[in-house]
Structure 1
Amino acid sequence: MSRRALSPSQRVRRRMLAALGLMTGGATIAAAAARAATGVPGAAGAASEAGGAASAPAGAAQKVLRLALRSSETSLDPARIVDLYSRSVTNHIFEALYGYDHLARPPRIRPLAAEGMPEHNAEFTVFTVRLKPGQFYAPDPAFKGRKRPLRAADFVFAFKRFVDPENKSPLFGSVLDIGFVGLAGLRDEALKTKKPFDYDKPIEGLQAPDDHTLRFVLDKPSPRFLQDLCNCDLFGGVAREVVEFYGDKIGEHPVGTGPYRVVQWRRSSFIALERNPNYRERYYDAEPAADDAEGQAMLARFKGRRLPMIDRVELSVIEEGQPRWLSFLNTQVDALATSANEMPIDFVNVAMPGGKLAPNLAKRGIQGIRSLNADCGLSFFNMEDPVVGGYTPEKVALRRAIGLGIDVEREIRLARRGQAIPAQSQVLPHTSGYDAAFKSENGDYDPARARALLDTYGYLDRNGDGWRELPDGRPLELEVATQPEQINRQFDELWKKNINALGIRVRFKTAKWPEQLKAARAGKLQLWMLGSSADRLDGQSSLARLYGPQSGGQNLARFKHARFDEIFDRMKVLPDGPEREALFLEAKKIGVAFMPYKVHVHRFSTDLLHPWVVGYRRPVYNWEWWHLVDIDESKRPKA
């Protein structure tokens, strides 16, 4: 049919699909994906070469889950990512030794690739883990037609990759901080000699005595070491021959032992996953609390089902809130759920006014779930920046004044649509160390006190133009990094209003989120607002943003404070208890006093799912759930 022959309603629909990114050269994403799945190149790009078919049983239609990522991935190489958008994908491609029971509340750790819980010595410095038999990588050309088993050495190799200087991993500091004996020495040797990292050199801290046994030796007691082995998105097994086969393109060819594999990828636009035909025999099981009616009902419905229950997951990058919301309403996206593809905040009060699902959505059978997340929204100050960085009294006063000048309650009411609570520190809800009763200056809005601080420390309007200068008389202007999406413009307006009210000029540096993250890691941003989510039970992981040795990685602010680092190191070796809680409190107070971060809020999430998505429970940590839900095709509208 020619464009001229289309009816007005058809033209409107076609324009809407194009705006949503759901048309590719005149074809819907579903059609383009179907062409890719059958090996027929289309405008969306050909499917990755991946071996045999990975689809539903013969004669059965594929079950497809369609989601919308709210920002593009940066890479799919676990050693080179830190953003939750990429990690939400790798979570389902790789499989760690351990993970969290998806129905247990509070969360409980259980084996994944491991045969059982680890053995350890009394000092918590030596851990032995045995692998389940019968685990294989997804088919890939790197294996030259062979079915490649998972081996213990693959985990040793995966951990080493994080500290190889060539990989420039943003998490190398976090991995070194685990304390594997000899691992830091391997990195130092590569840096000193300028030679390639020696993966073949054995170290005491990471051993694979045989194909099914791992032995970890730590340089200090680590009572919570098990939590370091729970991240499928980062710490799954990696086959060395895959990395060597793809070289510097490894970020485009993730190959793991998890439930899914990538079959199609159009960077920053579309990713399709299909079930890994070599995935181990894994069956739905969980341990919800006895009084957890919802969890018990899910267990009764799905217990014993082979995982994954869904054959294919399609991810479209839709950054703007309105197109993402429309794509859900028009059933082109099946769920807006978890932080990576959550409900656009602009439409939260349309979907769930007063926290209750809107009648028109309830009539359609849509599920609405509201939760307080283990996360925060925060702004970091680059401590090496000549304007906002530094540890002298006037620099600390400037950051604290800016923090006091930010009207968080207004931010929650207007930009966040009421979907948050003010934060008092970096430690996140649902993690150890979080205290709902803790109160600090971080949670205060006091512009009068902010202006008094600025006056006291020499940030004055010397020339009478209405704007303050630095104590040495030079102009004072903040450069705030931001993104081009509509929701960011709302936050920018609030920033400008708050900071201008203190007599400080503001300009904005706009770029896409992955570009800003790259610049932040390199120390090239002065100030940026972003979010942070917990990936484990222990709240110390959120304090890593203040830990000196992780500057440029988790510590985007590049904060360095000897007493804080001493506290952080001491906390790692202590068991949970009153002494460790006292150190949590002192660490939080140091963070508030020096203000390398202004922690704005802890956020609520609103998850919406169409009635054909069944079995969803929002993860507390990480973002693994695609393989744990089912699609009831009888409830999905027919095309």
Structure 2
Amino acid sequence: MFKTTHRMFLAAALVTISGLPATAEIPANLQETPYWEAEVESGGLPPIAERIPQEPLIVDLAAKGRDFGTPGGTLRTMVTRSKDIRQMVVYGYARLVGFDHDYNIVPDLLASFENEDNRKFTLNLRPGHKWSDGTAFTSEDFRYWWEDVANNELLSPSGPPDFLLVEGKPPTVSFPDETTIVFEWENPNPDFLQSLAQARPPFIYRPSEFLKKYHEKFANPEDLAFHVEDARVKSWAALHNKLDNLYKYDNHELPTLQPWFNASSGKKIRYGFIRNPYYHRVDSKGVQLPYVDVVEMEIVAPGLVAAKTNAGESDLQGRGLAFRDASILKKGEAEGGYKTLLWKTGVASQIAIYPNLNFEDEAWRNILRDVRVRRALSLAIDRKTINQALYFKLAHPGAMSVLPTSPFYDEANAKAWAEYDVDMANALLDEAGLTERDRDGVRLLPDGRPMELVIETAGERQEVENALQIVTDTWREIGVDLVMRPLDRDILRNRVFSGNTMASVWFGWDDGIPQMHTSPAYLAPTDQVFLSWPKWGQYYQTNGGSGEPPDMPEAELLMKLAHDWEIATTDDERAAVWTEMLKIHADQLYAIGILNGAPQPIVVSNRLRNVPEQAMWAWEPGAHFGIHRPDEFFFAD
């Protein structure tokens, strides 16, 4: 349904390229993509040899143990909110550099890169690489972003992103030629490359030819004024920021480098994403990726994802499914024409309770900041019962720490304060001075209020509510009354960030499998999204403009250690920092993990190939399906 519409759009938007230099190294067996044959024959699109870079990324599927595919087909999948069409950027996982299956950082959009002591990075583009509209992808796109967006006060009031600031100083950025960009710092920036490989990439480039039409420095003033008025925004900067949304993916006119681009304008129930005719990856048989022509992404209510998947209405589904859905999905396989895989999960904890150390209620804040209280709460959780009741013993009970596949795993951290021990929990609460109880056995705060611990949830995962019901029963044995309050996800986060939430529950760290090159910044109070210290994170993120500075010794030490990692010069020094920071978390229990490794159901159409039977479902590192390369998935028929 999207093909005809998009061909009309593409014919108007594409720029015909005259031809490649004689030195271009085009694979001899290069094949035209059937989807675009009509456009090529009519002259509306250049032939494949003129669309791909002179040095495309050649994918040897045989060496990866995968099958070579045949282009074609429409892949159906679902998300639960319109804003989640951005998952196409996550799943597409076209990055300057990305993680391979062993979590090594390798070039992708880049032809190559050089790293000189983590201080100087030279990025080499692929000659002849083009955006999805046929315009050239060159160093000018990096220069435009750096000089005219990131360092423009109207477009970027806070300046360049934090990951580019080292000791508070930005890099020197130069552009020696069309395919070379150099980032250079006085001090090491060991997190630079990994930041480029994230599930949500920082996009240190922009489609400059498209966006210059909306920038006061380059646009015709009269034309720009018309565009501003037509878009009903207040200024050219507001218009530019509205259109400049490579991650949101909701501007169908904005060129992209991803395997599929958005061909749907406006808000819809079903979005269509069309194969990028200029995509840079080609299999070793000369077939341009992606194999799948169209991806249809349907917006459905959260409660309907499993049911519609069970009915065979999705060809590839992970998002919106939980382990509790596995049994019903298994039963529907024959009729639905799919199979249900169980992948490992990469989050540090499937369910974690976050006491808010920045809670606005002073009495409760003091209680939650007492490590004896946090340890008692952890000891009074019957993790084995939760694992048996919710996950049929397939998950792993334990505190929140990194997973065994990380080189920094330590079994002592995983077990710290995680054994079910009601007697020790009661003793710790008594030691903390919470000895008085009401007639129902609920402990009393120093000001006489009952110890009713309100835990707010996003209300999206039934297993969270089920787990908290079990925790409610065991916490009663230590005189703590758990009150559960489900909220909308955005409301929950806003309440936490403002200090209005006493405690919340969410996943553990996104990256539960950090490698030697991974920054431990997320273990320190550097971001408000760690729900135990939102105010401390705000303080760091705004350079003291809002929030509160960390005022607990261990949190201050975490900040120092994170900085030590940044300036370290050897892997041994960085590993020592990781070890110490993880030990602090295990000891202090800033987040109370319940279990990890709960299997993630992945539903795959019987027709779809190259989807791994066993894999890791992780946001960081991995971008969910992204690291498994959906551009290599194909339909067998």
TM-score (norm: length of structure 2): 0.70
Q: 2:467 aligns with which of 443, 466, 491?
A: 491
The residue aligned with 1:113 is: 109
The residue aligned with 1:418 is: 393
**CA drift at 1:516:** 2.7
1:64 aligns with 2:36: no
Whole-Å separation in 2 of the counterparts to 1:421 and 1:48: 50
Map 1:14-413 → 2, pairs under 5 A: 34=1, 38-39=4-5, 51=13, 56-58=35-37, 63-69=73-79, 71-72=80-81, 74=83, 86=86, 88-92=87-91, 95-101=94-100, 104=101, 106-116=102-112, 118-121=113-116, 123-139=117-133, 147-155=134-142, 175-177=161-163, 179-180=165-166, 184=168, 204-223=171-190, 225-231=192-198, 233-236=200-203, 237-239=205-207, 242=211, 245-248=239-242, 250=245, 251=248, 252-253=250-251, 255-264=255-264, 270-277=270-277, 279-284=278-283, 304-318=286-300, 320=302, 323-337=304-318, 340-341=319-320, 343-349=321-327, 361=333, 366-376=338-348, 377=350, 378-385=352-359, 386=361, 395-413=370-388
Identity of aligned residues (%): 18
Structure 1 residues 211-220 or 450-459, which shifts more? Answer: 211-220
Q: 1:506 aligns with which of 482, 494, 505?
A: 482
Unaligned runs of 5+ in 1: 1-33, 41-46, 77-85, 140-146, 186-202, 286-302, 353-357, 635-639
SS, match of residue 606 in structure 1? strand
Change (3 A) 1:401 1:583: same
**CA drift at 1:97:** 1.1
Map 1:534-545 → 2, pairs under 5 A: 534=511, 538=515, 543-545=520-522
One-letter code aligned to 2:475: I
Preserved contact between residue 77 and residue 298 of structure 2 (Cα < 8 Å): yes
Whole-Å separation in 2 of the counterparts to 1:364 and 1:465: 52
Change (3 A) 1:268 1:408: farther
Preserved contact between residue 129 and residue 213 of structure 1 (Cα < 8 Å): yes
Change (3 A) 1:477 1:348: same
The residue aligned with 1:199 is: none
Change (3 A) 1:555 1:474: closer
**CA drift at 1:469:** 1.8
One-letter code aligned to 1:111: P
Change (3 A) 1:61 1:149: closer
Preserved contact between residue 482 and residue 511 of structure 1 (Cα < 8 Å): yes
Unaligned runs of 5+ in 2: 16-32, 39-69, 215-236, 537-549
1:473 aligns with 2:448: yes
1:581 aligns with 2:549: no
Whole-Å separation in 2 of the counterparts to 1:208 and 1:490: 55
The residue aligned with 1:455 is: 430
Change (3 A) 1:174 1:489: farther
SS, match of residue 449 in structure 2? coil
TM-score (norm: length of structure 1): 0.70
**CA drift at 1:235:** 3.0
Preserved contact between residue 92 and residue 258 of structure 1 (Cα < 8 Å): no
Preserved contact between residue 153 and residue 159 of structure 2 (Cα < 8 Å): no
Whole-Å separation in 2 of the counterparts to 1:630 and 1:544: 38
The residue aligned with 1:596 is: 590
Change (3 A) 1:393 1:110: closer
Whole-Å separation in 1 of the counterparts to 2:130 and 2:271: 23
**CA drift at 1:176:** 1.8
One-letter code aligned to 1:333: S
- Cα deviation, 1:436-480, whole Å, max 9, x if unaligned, reads 565442433222222221122122444424322212323332221
**CA drift at 1:412:** 2.0
Whole-Å separation in 1 of the counterparts to 2:159 and 2:367: 27
**CA drift at 1:361:** 4.0
**CA drift at 1:153:** 4.7
SS, match of residue 128 in structure 2? coil
One-letter code aligned to 1:345: F
SS, match of residue 291 in structure 2? coil
One-letter code aligned to 1:399: R
**Number of equivalent positions:** 521
Map 1:511-526 → 2, pairs under 5 A: 511-526=487-502
Change (3 A) 1:368 1:58: same
Change (3 A) 1:73 1:178: farther
